[in-house]
Amino acid sequence: MGRGSRPRGPFLLPLLLLLLLAAVASGEAPSLPLVLNTWPFRKAAEAAWSTLLAGGSELDAVEKGCGQCEVEQCDGSVGYGGHPDEHGETTLDAMIMDGNTMEVGAVADLRRVKNAIGVARKVIEHTQHTLLVGESASLFAESMGFPSEDLTTQSSLSMYLQWLNRNCQPNFWKSVTPDASKSCGPYKQAAKFTKEERSVSKKRIDVHNHDTIGMIVIGQNGSIAVGTSTNGADHKIQGRVGDSPIAGAGAYADSTAGAAAATGDGDLMMRFLPSYQAVEYMRTGMDPTIACQKVISRIQKYEPYFFGAVICANTSGSYGAACNKVSGFTQFHFMASNPTLKQPSEQIIDCI
């Protein structure tokens, strides 16, 4: 220390403390381990967080967290007894991904089996495949010891009957006869194809129609896993698969870069691979919030009125989220858990 210079320590310490307090107050202080999940599904966050604290792996935590939502039937959009298809049946989609090995296990259009995220993990552990679908996925699940159960409940049956009484409105058909905007099917293709605007445009969004749980888990050592689970769009065409079980669309993890998960209109969002794109943005050093916002902005250029949100986290534990602002959806709620927050905490962001 030169003559006349003053000790820096006593002056720098308060400044560092102020910076740390500001970071903590923002909810974005880098801290591991980390659990993030879409929507304020608190018990799912608690299940994943407690699994990590008990010594479970990142994949264990994702499976437990998403599985909790399947049991609870979170918001009617996850698990059995929700969102019947146009024939009245509830089917499930799920995916789990290991960011260390890049292995993915997924199931789509799963029937008769409630624990979709559990079946997805068995795809990783007991097959060389990535995605199993439909009746064959159900048979695989049963061979793995999952019980065969009816996914229909009085609630989902009531939803279906009410939809029939509304002349099957709304639905996902277009350019068919009879006119799908006025009557039920069966439908046939119209003699002349006409381009129709998506019914979602400029109308108030029903946030419960396209929900899903997407979860990111980063362990103390930086290992990352992600997962999703959903029963899909309400009154979907039978056989429809959305973004949730598709790696890079519903969720994506790479332990060398970060992770992301998406929620919203899966038919639209899966065309942009938002989760993969967000992770690649973070690979360049981009802040997680900015990465999420850039993904949303990219979709906005093509579909300004789409319903959707993305959560993002980098390898240091910094996290963020973004959503598209439309009528009925101006803020996005999600859960975050890390040592700084002490317990799973609801986060709220304004949409862009």
Enumerate the known binding-site residues for substrate.
Answer: 240-243, 263-266
Count the Cβ atoms, other than its own, within 10 Å of residue 246: 26
Helix (H) or strand (E) holding 120: helix 116-126
Q: Can you say whether the dihedral through the CA atoms of 247, 113, 90, 213 is positive or negative?
A: negative
Spatial separation of the C-alpha atoms in residues 319 and 224, rounded to whole Å: 13
- Beta strands at 131-133 and 104-110: parallel, antiparallel or unpaired: parallel
174/190 Cα distance (integer angstroms): 9
φ/ψ (deg, to 5) at 2: -75, 160
Residues across the chain: 352
Residue 75, CA distances (Å) to 200, 306, 325 in order? 20, 20, 21
Annotation says 38 is catalytic: no
Q: Give the integer Cα–Cα distance in Å for 64 and 121.
A: 11
Give φ, ψ of 264 to 5 degrees: 135, -145
Name which of 200, 242, 209, 214 is nearest 82 in CA terms.
209
Question: What are the strands of the beta sheet with 319-323, ordered from one edge?
Answer: 251-254, 258-264, 308-314, 319-323
Helices 288-300 and 274-283 meet at what angle, rounded to 10? 140
Beta strands in the chain (DSSP E): 34-38, 92-98, 104-110, 131-133, 176-177, 188-189, 213-218, 224-230, 251-254, 258-264, 308-314, 319-323, 331-337, 345-350
Residues forming the annotated binding site?
A: 240-243, 263-266
Among 38, 51, 91, 212, which one carries the catalytic annotation?
212
Could you list the active site residues? Answer: 212
